[in-house]
Chain A
């Protein structure tokens, strides 16, 4: 594991009453790389996400996010909206959470809220129509247009987000997260429900996002996407990390196969050795 680390999670534990959803998990995500978090259902992956992105307060553990300029932020000390605003961590959701009654364009404008609020002088400059605000607003619209074009929804910019097709909604959610100009993009099952063509379009999009310098952490079940784009994979089961490494190594790891098959390790090895 060489290279510059953007996210360093150490000893993360999340307990809900008597249930330990995540148990002493440690993982690192490299800068400008795609790290995938995989594992069977119920392994605790979304819980880890929710801890990283500030929706749950972890029972214990440390999560350090290091920006390009070297500044480090302890995520477990931030909560809520500050994770996105200050730590520059953006996320998408397992069940798409767009603003359905607002247009695609408006969704992307909301994402640029903080920048625009500043430019509008906490609304007052905006209220009087100051030119500095109008310039900022135009810039925001242009940025939104660029993203809409990139995900192929420029034609549908003025349509309600709730009216878009499922695959379009997924891409819009990613674009919206990107409009906050994050350092780390966390995606929760972005390929869920997508067909093969849409999945490969998604892979392309994520690769190009990585190419532009954003680090990605993703939860995904679709192995073709995971194998194609990940630089590093972390595997969880029952709240603990059971394997990690490069995609090929993880794919061939008997522990991982066992976890997914619901079998135990010896059986998995036997199955793997018997197949050509």
Chain B
């Protein structure tokens, strides 16, 4: 190494350091201005009703310092890792190991899930969390049909969840119908709403479709809140009956299941039962989706996502194809909603906000649209992550928002980066999701 090149490296290193410092300084300055008023000053309604404020300059200084430091770290990482879209070369031995791991994940995960109530029988918290995760897995798989397979951007999925929940709640409290009767009814009602929602939005594309579905979701929520005589308004519906074990109630009394089986009654029984119910429902969703994918309708959904114009040129009725996608996705959402109602015993409009739609959408996108396993893993990650933030609701959503932004920048195609073909002659190779289109609605 000659003296000249050492000088060069030293000079370029100084330049790099200066560049990083400059960037960090600008970021810190911007942060200072942005946060000066919102964080530096804290307003609140005072004791006599007028607005008072106090200063929080130490918090402000801390945040600016974090931004400064953070920006240095980010720059260093960026220089070390290279730009976002560089491809890293994976050696073949690692590749085959990864392939094996990939194929093993699904069965392992499934087995583990079946055993959760056995392993964690005493930990009510884990069981509840499991039920929550499985509910979102089902919602994710349901929305996956609309967004992942058919490429229709639906931001109002929570509307079907709500229809299902309220259907069961109102049918059971007003007419005394049992859970098992109401379950398919909820699905059918939600599917009906799916078609109703689908009709007006058929010709809309991309962003417009998204906004209109969002508007629909909000309309449903507002109607629920305001139509007090039907839905109980903001107070919701309470006293929703719990499901029975195919007719035998899960109560401590003489006619309860525990008595019939001759074992001691425990409230955990109901939780375990609910766990397996949602697991069964989710697996049903999964099975139906996988089968539909291999049938002409599923292939038409994916073709619709890839290129709608070509579909029309091939004689495919894109209208009915879109409507079936909406209806199917809605049906699963409705069924999940009915389950939600029975699990909680009480529902209110608060549970059906846009945030829920966004959360389910994030699960589908994070999972790599169209991939069943990806959606399940994404639901586990997001809902599990949410739980870690329990008690810090606002911070939860803040982090969730930032995570969505980062996810889009870093891995817009989601965790699972490939699509599995539905029919093959010789080799079942997976197609990189770089090729699959994301649909224009």
Instruction: Let me know if B314 and A84 touch, CB within 8 A.
Output: yes
A168 at the interface (CB under 8 A from B): no
Q: Which residues of A contact B422 (CB under 8 A)?
A: 106
Given contacts A81-B313, A103-B423, A116-B296, 20 further A-B contacts (CB under 8 A): A81-B318, A97-B313, A99-B306, A101-B433, A101-B437, A110-B316, A111-B314, A113-B315, A113-B316, A117-B296, A117-B297, A117-B300, A120-B295, A123-B296, A127-B288, A127-B291, A127-B295, A141-B423, A158-B429, A180-B315
Which of B297, B313, B433, B437 lies in contact with A123, CB distance below 8 A?
B297
A91 at the interface (CB under 8 A from B): yes
One digit per residue, 1 when the CB lies within 8 angstroms of any chain A CB and 0 when it does not, for chain B 410-435 equals 00000000010111111111011101
A110 CA / B291 CA spacing, docked (Å): 16
Inter-chain contact total with CB atoms closer than 8 Å: 134
Q: A98-B307, A106-B421, A158-B424 are in contact. Are A126 and B315 (CB under 8 A)?
A: no
- Cβ of B317 < 8 Å from any Cβ of A? yes
The residue in chain B whose Cβ has the minimal distance to the Cβ of A85 is: B315
Q: Which residue on A lies nearest to B288, using beta carbons?
A: A127
Bound CA span A103–B425, Å: 10
Closest CB in chain B relative to A182 CB, distance in Å: 9
* B312, CB-defined interface residue at 8 Å: yes
- From A100, A141, A145, A157, give the contact of B306 (CB < 8 A): A100
Interface residues on B, range: 35 or more
Contact A93 B421, beta carbon cutoff 8 Å: no
Q: Per-position contact with A for B389-425: 1 when CB-CB < 8 Å, else 0? A: 0000000000000000000000000000001011111
B154 lies within 8 A of chain A by Cβ: no
Q: How far is the CB of A162 from chain B (nearest CB, A)?
A: 4
Collect the chain A residues with CB atoms within 8 Å of residue B425's CB.
105, 141, 145, 154, 157-158
Q: Report yes or no: A81 in contact with B307, Cβ–Cβ below 8 A.
A: no
Inter-chain CA distance A123–B288, complex, in Å, is 11
- Give A106 to B436 CA distance when docked, in angstroms: 13
Which chain A residues in 147-174 approach chain B with CB under 8 Å?
154, 157-160, 162-163
For A112, the closest partner residue in chain B by CB is B296
Which one of A91, A106, A158, A163 lies within 8 Å of B428 (CB-CB)?
A158
Q: Is B292 an interface residue (CB 8 A)?
A: yes
Residues of B within 8 A of A (CB): 288, 291-292, 295-297, 299-300, 302-303, 306-307, 309-318, 419, 421-429, 431-433, 435-437
A114 CB-CB contact with B under 8 Å: yes
Binding site for B on A (CB under 8 A): 53-55, 80-85, 90-91, 93, 97-103, 105-106, 109-114, 116-117, 120, 123, 126-127, 141, 145, 154, 157-160, 162-163, 176-177, 180
Nearest chain A residue, comparing its CB with the CB of B429: A158
Given known contacts A102-B303, A120-B295, is B312 in contact with A163 (CB within 8 Å)? Answer: no
Chain B, Cβ-Cβ closest to A87? B315
Chain A nearest Cβ from B143, distance in angstroms = 19
Q: Please measure, in the bound complex, the distance between the C-alpha atom of A83 and the C-alpha atom of B424, giving whole angstroms.
A: 30
Residues of A within 8 A of B302 (CB): 99, 101-102
- Closest Cβ of chain B to A138, distance in Å, is 11
Task: Find the A residue at minimum CB distance from B310.
Answer: A97
In the assembled complex, the Cα of A159 lies from the Cα of B424 at a distance in Å of: 9
Nearest-neighbour CB distance to chain B for A126, whole angstroms, equals: 4
Chain B residues lying within 8 Å of A177, measured Cβ to Cβ, are 313-314
Chain A residues, CB < 8 A from B315: 81-85, 113-114, 180
Q: Is the CB of B424 within 8 A of A105?
A: yes
Cα A161 to Cα B432 in complex, Å, equals 12
Contacts A/B (CB < 8 Å), 15 sampled? A80-B318, A81-B315, A84-B314, A90-B313, A91-B313, A100-B437, A105-B421, A106-B422, A110-B300, A110-B314, A112-B296, A113-B296, A117-B300, A120-B297, A158-B421
Residue from A84, A103, A141, A163 having most chain B Cβ neighbours under 10 A? A103
CB distance from B430 to the nearest CB of A (A): 9
Q: Which of A114, A157, A163 contacts B316 (CB 8 A)?
A: A114
Complex contacts, A98 vs chain B, CB 8 Å: 307, 310
Q: Are B436 and A159 in contact (CB under 8 A)?
A: no
Q: What is the bound-complex CA distance between A161 and B190, given in angstroms?
A: 36
A101–B434 Cα gap in the complex (Å)? Answer: 8
Complex interface: chain B residues within 8 A of A157 (CB)? 424-426
- B316 (CB) vs chain A CBs: closest residue: A113
**Using Cβ atoms and an 8 Å threshold, which residues of chain A touch B419?**
101
Cβ of B435 and Cβ of A106 under 8 Å apart? no
